[in-house]
Structure 1
Amino acid sequence: MSGPTGRFAPSPSGRLHLGNLACSLLAWLSAKSRGGRIVLRIEDLDAARCPRAYADQLEEDLAWLGLVWDEGGSHGGPHGPYYQSECGEIYTKSYQKLEAMGLVYPCFCSRAQLHAASAPHTSDGNVVYPGTCRGLTPEQVAEKRRVKAPAWRVMVPDEEIAFEDLCMGPHSENLLTGCGDFYLRRADGVFAYQLAVVVDDARMGVTEVVRGADLLSSTARQIYLYRLLGLTPPAFAHCPLLLDQEGRRLSKRDGDQSLENLRGRYTAEEIVGKLAYLYGLQPEPAPRTPQSLLPGFDWAKVPKQDVRLQPGLFGS
């Protein structure tokens, strides 16, 4: 029996930061500790924000850290394309399947309108879509399209979707009350993240998705799309986010914690060892290679709550 197929799926809109690296390390360890493989997919759906130079630098950074992948990226492989900006035709076919089921409809609501409405909000601040445009007549749609190009949503049922997360444990969400009908395609024609990742993970044979806990709320939506498209969902592991010392989420704007800065101050083994320490995989922040962490890897050791950077661990 072969091991799982995991993946790195970074969005190359800037240099990797420590939070990205922690997630990549956990994904690599989870798959490789059970004899599995890693696919590298470049999530550059918004090609204008994700120049190829960033993707190339990202590959070099991962290789420098010892997080080597088995297929994908510029290396290519049997399941390409590995750049989402090149997959429009592939996404279109799945989108048309959902359209043929009568589940897709145009939405003319702006972000400002939704936030000004009395619709409930999720814990991460997003609006639970109240179905404003779901019942528009063809005449109403034609009238609105003269003024504004629509985005496109998929209808969801009043249904609870439950799954067992490898890191966070049992999780469930009601699609209708937890998120509402969600976007499949933007008004400018770019496909939404939810559809693209489902189609890509399925066609690349990914059986295990490791990503940040901020994407936990996306999982029920994606499992729903897997079912509609007749695909088998992977296992999911949502790892705790890495926060700065003040408790703020790291972002690619945080230059101090980007690899661009860190590579000038630490070796690859020092960075990997410090991350392994923060995520409960070793008792002290001693230098380690990813390979050396494989024998002791266990999701049970990884914290369930967000991880905060400790003073002095990566500088001030």
Structure 2
Amino acid sequence: MRGGFAVTSPRGRFAPSPTGRLHFGSLVAALGSWLFARSAGATWIVRMEDIDRGREVPGAAEAILATLAAFGLASDEPVVRQSARTPLYAAALARLERDGHAYRCWCSRSELEPFDGIHPPACVAPVRDRPPAWRLRVGSATVGFTDRVLGAQEQDLRRDVGDFVVWRADGACAYQLAVVVDDAAQGIGEVVRGADLLDSTPRQILLQRLLGLPQPAYAHLPLALGPDGRKLSKHEAALAVDARDPLPALGAALRFLGQPAPTERNVHMLLSRAAREFDPARIPRTAGMPPAFAAARNATSRG
């Protein structure tokens, strides 16, 4: 039992958004989730989170999948794309509305400024001449869970988040609801992802409870930072990993996750050994720079 729900499988997943090519930070998330799954003898799948079509880069999804395959990280099952799953999300929203957990809201960001950006327990928009979003009532919910990397976590949703969007005003399902529906539908027993999504986890657990869905285990991995301390995926100079020569980046990703970097010169042999030797207790709890960035910075400072 995990979090009060029976988990029958530790199935894992990697769920990239097709907003660009696979960079080192994404490789860390993919490899970390693969290691958690493979070390437990579990299935590992890839889900393409392409629900935000406005941010999608043409060809990025195919490029990501090809790069993952070159790194030995091919999905064990056909890749699922969120853009094809809107009816599932709409059914979940309808259930939340029926049970009194979701309501229409016309609030803009500027209208929430007097509330420090935290949405109150009702829509406060004075004008309703635009399409509404749907928000989830959080009530007095405080959600806690134990992260496999970061330990005990707790969040007061009313104080820290407020009623949050589950369906956007542009007609698209919001990330928080889509990921909960998909993880349950795909039988994901363990969610392994970057620590930038740690803050989203209590919202997703609340949705799981309200929808009667199983709660997976969670492990949030350290973020890879650029030389300026920003998250690598947000850094303009974030470099895509080289699918033509995957071994150096795989070794760097293993070291970044605190794991010994095998010396095998074959991708599949390297990954096999890494899965056998994987120890989650070695994963750092704080963000850091990838080994290559650290080496470049140190060389500069010495000069």
Normalised-by-shorter TM-score class: 0.7 to 0.9
Deviation at 1:237, TM superposition (A): 0.5
Query: Are residue 238 (structure 1) and residue 224 (structure 2) matched?
Result: no
Instruction: Tell me the residue number matched to 2:260.
Output: 282
Instruction: Tell me the residue number matched to 1:7.
Output: 13
Instruction: Tell me the residue number matched to 1:168.
Output: 150
Partner Cα distance (1:99, 1:270) in 2: 50
Deviation at 1:255, TM superposition (A): 4.6
Deviation at 1:292, TM superposition (A): 2.1
Match of 2:249 among 258, 264, 271: 271
Q: Which residue identity is paired with 1:129?
A: H
Instruction: Tell me the residue number matched to 1:223.
Output: 205
Distance 1:66 1:184, change over 3 A: same
Query: Are residue 68 (structure 1) and residue 74 (structure 2) matched?
Result: yes
Q: Which residue identity is paired with 1:196?
A: A
Q: Deviations over 1:149-174 (max 9, x none)?
A: 11110101212211110111110111
Query: Are residue 158 (structure 1) and residue 112 (structure 2) matched?
Result: no
Q: Which residue identity is paired with 1:13?
A: T
Distance 1:92 1:38, change over 3 A: same
Distance 1:6 1:280, change over 3 A: same
Query: Are residue 117 (structure 1) and residue 117 (structure 2) matched?
Result: no
Distance 1:312 1:284, change over 3 A: farther
Instruction: Answer yes or no: is the 8 Å Cα contact 2:262–2:274 preserved in 1.
Output: no
Partner Cα distance (1:57, 1:252) in 2: 19
Q: Which residue identity is paired with 1:5?
A: R
Instruction: Answer yes or no: is the 8 Å Cα contact 1:164–1:171 preserved in 2.
Output: yes
Partner Cα distance (2:115, 2:252) in 1: 45
Instruction: Answer yes or no: is the 8 Å Cα contact 1:277–1:285 preserved in 2.
Output: no
Distance 1:314 1:89, change over 3 A: farther
Query: Are residue 309 (structure 1) and residue 290 (structure 2) matched?
Result: yes
- Percent identity over the alignment? 39
Instruction: Answer yes or no: is the 8 Å Cα contact 2:198–2:220 preserved in 1.
Output: yes
Partner Cα distance (1:229, 1:154) in 2: 12
Distance 1:89 1:282, change over 3 A: same
Instruction: Tell me the residue number matched to 1:247.
Output: 229
Distance 1:311 1:207, change over 3 A: closer
Q: Structure 1: where are the runs of 5+ without partners? A: 74-81, 120-126
Deviation at 1:94, TM superposition (A): 0.7
C-alpha RMSD of the superposition = 2.4
TM score, norm. by length of structure 1:
0.84
Q: Structure 2: where are the runs of 5+ without partners? A: 1-6, 298-303
Q: Which residue identity is paired with 1:274?
A: A
Match of 1:213 among 174, 183, 195: 195
Distance 1:302 1:286, change over 3 A: farther
Query: Are residue 204 (structure 1) and residue 186 (structure 2) matched?
Result: yes
Deviation at 1:22, TM superposition (A): 0.3
Distance 1:210 1:34, change over 3 A: same
TM score, norm. by length of structure 2:
0.87
Distance 1:220 1:285, change over 3 A: farther
